[in-house]
Structures are given as structure tokens and as C-alpha cells.
Amino acid sequence: MGRLWHTTNIYMHSPIHEYAEKLTSLLPDPLKVIYLTNSGSEANDLAMLMARVYTGNFDVITFRGGYHGASPYAMGLTSMAAYKYPIATGIGCHTTMCPDVFRGPWGGSGCRDSPVQTIRECNCSPDCCQANDMYVQQLKEVLDTSVSQQIAGFFAEPIQGIGGVVQYPKGFLKEAYKLVRERGGVCIADETIEEDGLQQNSTQVGTYLLTELAKLRDKFGIIGDIRGKGLLIGVEMVKDKVSREPLPGVEMNEIFEDCKDMGLLIGKGGVYGQMSRIKPPMCITKDDADFALAVFGLAIQRQMARRL
């Protein structure tokens, strides 16, 4: 607070350059240009503008269930009813089906690049993923029917956060990016960059959390799915594992309140409010993870007892 960091882009000074250099060192080539903005919404506003000006095209595609911000321009990219208002936004913005291998029409037990898979069955041979092919087909249909021949771009979170920590079939984004580029569009990954050094901790503690939460899923009927990567983890709560219907809001709130009273704050999310979103600070330790697992496990156990 004692140092001047930023007044306006007119007066450039060294901390901004140092920060930009540090940021680019985390990005793969050729991503070496940084433009700093004040918020995620503003970043996406700018990305949409740049995609349109750069390509000379207008249409953009996003996933249903995606959250990309709430500014009037970014609201058009967002596809969650809770964040939409009856105003004119989103001209030229179109959506495609989110490749959700747990809740969506297609998905199996081998779709994800993860140690934890869905509880759904799978008939695919090791070198193919039928669910992925079906979701790619959905995007092809949007490209063939909803947009003009040439498009400006495709926005996707690498893992869909607020929409429910949705982890797509492995290889989906690669295929989607190819289709989008063939139609003249640019591909925009909407995500916050992990800090150096903490990436390793995220992988270690995050993978531990994922696999331990999967054990809770196998134990309790109302935990339908565990997914995510690093320290962005989703726990999808269901009425039961056969119907996979979302756990009602009243029950979700009871679990959240119970966790809070025991000292654990968990995020909410999902198109139906059925997700517990775990996204702790990246410096958390294995002991912190064990505490969270114990509290969450107890809250679920109590909820199961309430349902009897």
C-alpha cells in the first residue's frame, strides 16, 4: 500500500512489466502478449472485441452452463439462467452442449483425463470415446446451423467452474479448437493462472483430495460424482445414483450449513445448484485436506441420517 503501482495505462512503470514477464513465463509459446484488465468480465469483453476485430467475423460460441461474466457484453457469453436478465445481450453469441460426461446424455467410466472417473458404464475400446464423438457432433451441428460460415471465436473454460466444475472428455477441446479454427475463429481459454511453486502443491494435495472424495462417493448414495483437477474440485450431489437427479436445494443448504458450523466453507455451483465446489487457497496442506474430508464426510453422514 505504501508503493504506487498503477494509475493509468498512460504512465507505464516497471512493476507492470515485471508482472507481465512473470505471467508470460507460465504460458506456452507463442502466448507472450499480456493485457491487464480489472476483472474477468472485462477480460472477456475485450477478448470478444479482439476476436471480432481480428477475424472480421461476428459469431461466437460458448458452452451451455458456462459463466464468463456479468457485464452487459460478457452476459451474452454466459449461459446460466441465474445470471441472465431480460435485456438485449448476446447478439451473435451462440451456445453448444456442454460435454458433461456425468449429467449429460453421453458419458462413461473412461472419458476423463483423471484418476477419478464417473460411475457410468462404458463400452468403448481403449482408443475411442463415443461420448466425446457425440459432443463434438453437437458442436458441428451448431457450426452448420446457428452461425455464419466464418466465426469470430469459441470461449471455453478448460474446466467449467461456476457451471459445476465440469470436466470434459479428454481430447474434446483439441477437436473443438480444430473445428473452430477451420471456420476462421480464434479459441479463447477463460481461466485464473496458477502461481509458480504452488502448482506442484495443487497437483499433490488436489489429487489426494480427489481420490479421498471418490471414496466418500462410493460410500454415500447422495454423492454422484467427483471431478476436477488440481485444487478445483467438484462434488456433484444427487437424490440417488440411478436417476442422477440433482439433490434439492434444501438438502444442499443443510449440508453447507453443517460444514460451516464445523469450520469448513465450501462453494456452491452447478446449473441446478447441485454442486459443492472446493477451490481452496493453493497453499493448503495435506492436514487441511484431511480436516476438510473429515468435516465433509460427517456432514454427509448426518444428511443421510436426516433422510431416513
What is the binding site for ligand PLP (CB under 6 A)? 39-41, 44, 67-69, 157, 161-162, 190
Place of cell 436426516: 306
Q: Which is nearer to ligand PLP, 79 or 132 (CB)?
A: 79
Q: What gap in Å lies between CA 308 and CA 305, rounded to an integer? A: 5
Q: In the bound complex, which residue of the shown chain has the CB atom lying closest to ligand PLP?
A: 40
Q: Which is nearer to ligand PLP, 161 or 228 (CB)?
A: 161
Q: Which is nearer to ligand PLP, 34 or 298 (CB)?
A: 34
Q: Which is nearer to ligand PLP, 71 or 109 (CB)?
A: 71
Distances 153 to 40, 148, 163, 170, 228 between C-alpha atoms, Å: 17, 12, 20, 21, 25
- State in angstroms the smallest separation of the CB of 269 from ligand PLP: 10
- State in angstroms the smallest separation of the CB of 46 from ligand PLP: 12
- State in angstroms the smallest separation of the CB of 274 from ligand PLP: 18
Q: Which is nearer to ligand PLP, 67 or 154 (CB)?
A: 67
Buried b / exposed e across 217-254, counting CB within 10 Å, b at 16+? Answer: beebebbbbbbbbbbbbbbbbbbeeeebebbeeebbeb
Report the candidate in 228, 226, 222, 227 with the shortest Cα–Cα distance to residue 244.
222
Q: What gap in Å lies between CA 155 and CA 129, rounded to an integer? A: 23
Cell of 121: 458404464
Locate the DSSP E strands across the chain. Answer: 60-63, 93-96, 153-156, 186-189, 223-229, 232-237, 267-269, 275-278
- State in angstroms the smallest separation of the CB of 308 from ligand PLP: 37
Please tell me the number of Cα atoms within 13 Å of 215 on its side-chain side: 9
Residues 6+ apart with CB under 8 A from 271: 65, 80, 81, 163, 164
- State in angstroms the smallest separation of the CB of 242 from ligand PLP: 32
**Which amino acid is residue 201, in one-letter code?**
N
- State in angstroms the smallest separation of the CB of 194 from ligand PLP: 14
Q: Which is nearer to ligand PLP, 157 or 236 (CB)?
A: 157
- For the chain, what is the total number of helices (H) and then of strands (E)? 7, 8
Q: Which is nearer to ligand PLP, 45 or 236 (CB)?
A: 45
- State in angstroms the smallest separation of the CB of 218 from ligand PLP: 30
Q: What is the dihedral of CA 66, 70, 76, 80, to 10 degrees?
A: 40
Report the candidate in 71, 114, 104 with the shortest Cα–Cα distance to residue 89.
71
- State in angstroms the smallest separation of the CB of 109 from ligand PLP: 27
Q: Which is nearer to ligand PLP, 268 or 302 (CB)?
A: 268
